[in-house]
Amino acid sequence: MFRYLPEQASEIAPKIDWLNNLVTDLSVFFTVAIVGAMIYFAFKYKRTKKHQKGFTSPTDSHFLEVMWTVVPTLISCYILYYGIVYYRELRHVPANPIEINGIGKQWVWDFEYNTGKKTTNEITIPVNKPVKFILTSKDVLHSFFIPAMRVKSDVIPGHYTYVSFTPVKTGRYYTFCTEYCGKDHSAMLAKLNVVSQAEYDRWVNDLSESKLAEKLDLGELGAKLYEEKQCKSCHSLDGTRLVGPSWLKLFGKEEEFEDGTKIQVDENYLRTAILNPNAQIAMTYPKNVMPAYEGQLSEREISALITFIKEQDGKQKAISVKEEVVVDPSTLTPAQRGEMLYKSQTCNACHSIDGSKVVGPSWKGLYGHDGELVTGDKYVADDAYITESILNPNAKIVKGYAPSMPVIPLNDDQIKDIIEYMKTLK
Ligand code: CUA
């Protein structure tokens, strides 16, 4: 009866549900029994005639009194016992968990893995391995809740809390912020992907996204951060007033402060406004609303945001879209088409063409080169080996590299073009 609990996706979930269902069933049973008896007696012993004598009832019954004291006490002790046992199990962290640092802030969850992988509002973990989330908050109280795993913890500024569990099935789950924390509290959600160990290893060692960020120009990186860091929840790009000032034509504008001083918005002002926003609050805007980004952004990211703010001068579209130059591929040589693929398929995020080591081997001098695989076997980078590396990249990993390349779905002609391009990189 009353089984409305979410999917059981962690080791502890069935136990917690059993106890929860027991308490629910007992409550339903006693509610029905007590209220039922009350209604029944109310009718049965109703005084029908005006001067009818009431029924005489026994003044006391030791048997009944002992029963209604001892039975509920025993039931309560039973529930308390299992409550303590399961709570201890819930708070116990098994040996060698995967540790993930989580930071809650208005209104996103940031996560960082020990490999250096960073994510926002998304967590990937392997199935059947214990994980431990070490949680803290950047601003106000939040609460980290994963219903399918039956774990929940307050997330407190200046303090660490944790949740730990072992997922038992793969799938996509949700985590919620379950402590009211401001305007976008209800949107403070993170996706939780439980995947196989192999898939997790590939994902957690794949740092190509951060490498890719290094290749963006400052304005593009700023646009990316504007989305990712949720600047957009409070700052519009079209002049609309949200929580904070719009970024449209913000740079160079004169801002007035509460103490009457005025300042022209320049790089230094923006830098302070990002890192320590409550130092100077522009007139008519609320104080202590924006979280401080001190220590959360690299120098490059700060410059990127400032550049992006400068670009919002009203002369271009809010988010600039670079014009694509359309070229007819049939007019190009195979090597030229290969070079285009190298860029369009973002091979360049992980493979340099100048001999430097990024995530994967450089393509300079790669063709025809031989070496050793992680398995100790030898390989020669010929057409067959390169084709296999593109279609099934993690089958043969060169010594010293991580198995982190995604499968690139290219057709035979495209692969030939890439090989031709590699041949030009001597
Ligand atoms: Cu964070 Cu609610």
Is any atom of ligand 1 closer than 6 Å to the C-beta of 185? Answer: yes
Angle (CA) 23-27-29 rounded to 5° is 115
**How many CA within 13 A on the CB side of residue 202?**
14
Interstrand relation of 171-177 and 151-155 (parallel, antiparallel or unpaired): unpaired
Residue nearest to atom 1 of ligand 1 (CA): 142
pLDDT tens digits, 379-401: 888 888 888 888 888 777 787 77
Report which of 187, 167, 168, 166 is spatially closest to residue 176, judged by C-alpha positions: 187
Confidence of residue 377 (pLDDT cuts 50, 70, 90): confident
Helix (H) or strand (E) holding 105: strand 98-105
pLDDT of residue 316: 61
Q: For residue 182, is pLDDT > 60? A: yes
What average pLDDT does the segment 66-93 reach? 94
pLDDT of residue 323: 43
pLDDT of residue 321: 42
Is any atom of ligand 1 closer than 6 Å to the C-beta of 139? Answer: no
216-230, 307-321, 368-382: the lowest-pLDDT one? 307-321
Compute, in angstroms, the gap from residue 138 CA to the centroid of ligand 1.
Answer: 11
Confidence of residue 371 (pLDDT cuts 50, 70, 90): confident
Compute, in angstroms, the gap from residue 289 CA to the centroid of ligand 1.
Answer: 14
Q: Which atom of ligand 1 is nearest to the CA of 107?
A: 1
Q: Give all strands of the β-sheet with 98-105 in edge-to-edge order.
A: 118-120, 108-113, 98-105, 131-137, 161-165
Tell me the pTM: 0.54
Q: Is the dihedral of CA 57, 58, 60, 62 positive or negative?
A: negative
Is any atom of ligand 1 closer than 6 Å to the C-beta of 103? Answer: no
Compute, in angstroms, the gap from residue 291 CA to the centroid of ligand 1.
Answer: 13
pLDDT of residue 369: 83
Compute, in angstroms, the gap from residue 306 CA to the centroid of ligand 1.
Answer: 28
pLDDT tens digits, 212-242: 777 778 888 888 889 888 888 889 898 888 8
Q: Which atom of ligand 1 is nearest to the CA of 182?
A: 2
Q: Are 410 and 418 in contact (CB under 8 A)?
A: yes
Report which of 215, 206, 255, 231 is spatially closest to residue 349, judged by C-alpha positions: 215
Is any atom of ligand 1 closer than 6 Å to the C-beta of 309? Answer: no
Report which of 61, 234, 39 is spatially closest to residue 139, judged by C-alpha positions: 234
